[in-house]
Amino acid sequence: MGAIGVTTIGQLAKLSERSLTRLLGPAAGEKLAALAWNRDPRQLKPHRRARSAGAQSALGRKPAIEQVIRPTLLHLADRVATRLRAKSRPGRTVTVRVRFANLKSVTRSMTLDAPVCTTIVLARLAENLVRAALADHPGAKIISLLAISVSHLEEHWDLALELPLGLADEALRPGSPTGIARWAADRAIDKIRDRFGWEAIGYGSAALEAVHSVPDAFRKLAERDL
């Protein structure tokens, strides 16, 4: 556009759409004319709800050992699960991301029969996925980031009770007796935090380890409404 003396948005807006189309072709001409006059035909959706909830923690360069992975994932699961419970929107698909020292990232995910929003269950599922990712990359001994996200969120959800059938994964099922107990414990923690603040109570291993790469107050600024 500089070849014809157009160097500012104002100059561009003074050109007719026909002139721009003749110079640049129909697609580019129409788009530039619309941009110059700030026209956008797309419908504005200001209250669109997020389709997933996630959190990540940059670790610098840390060894891929349990003493690093477990408290980090527990802290991330706590953030994600608290948001899911606050909106009664558990999710069925759990995804983790592991970034190695060479900046290569891998993801692993699993889709559950029942939606999940309890902190311990989400943390345990994430641990299993991270271990699977590390097993597939035995030469990677240093990690620089861990992330958890939950998708396929339920729009309308009620916790369904399950019979204690002695299934292998019963401890991870939200409607089992163990799952109900964990739900009740999480809700008690939620109520304490609502009254006294996030730092008033937490899970011991996550609270004692220095896994907060970014203050939680800043994390909240990037978390979309569920």
Question: What would the pLDDT profile of 114-127 be if each residue is shown by its tens digit?
Answer: 899 999 999 999 99
- pLDDT digits over 35-45, tens only? 888 887 777 66
Q: How wide is the angle at C-alpha 53 spanned by C-alphas 205 and 45, nearest 5°?
A: 155
Cα–Cα distance, 199 to 193 (Å, whole number): 7
Residue 159 DSSP class: P
Q: Which tokens hold the place of 108?
A: 């692993």
Quote the pLDDT of residue 180. 86
Which residue has tokens 């698909």?
93
Residue 46 binned pLDDT confidence (cut-offs 50, 70, 90): low
pLDDT tens figures, 182-203: 888 999 999 999 999 888 888 7
Please state the pTM of the whole predicted model: 0.71
DSSP-assigned letter for residue 43: P
Q: Give the pLDDT of residue 209.
A: 54
Q: Which residues contact 44 (CB under 8 A, 6 or more apart)?
A: none
Q: How many degrees, rounded to 5, is the angle at CA 47 between CA 97 and CA 225? A: 40
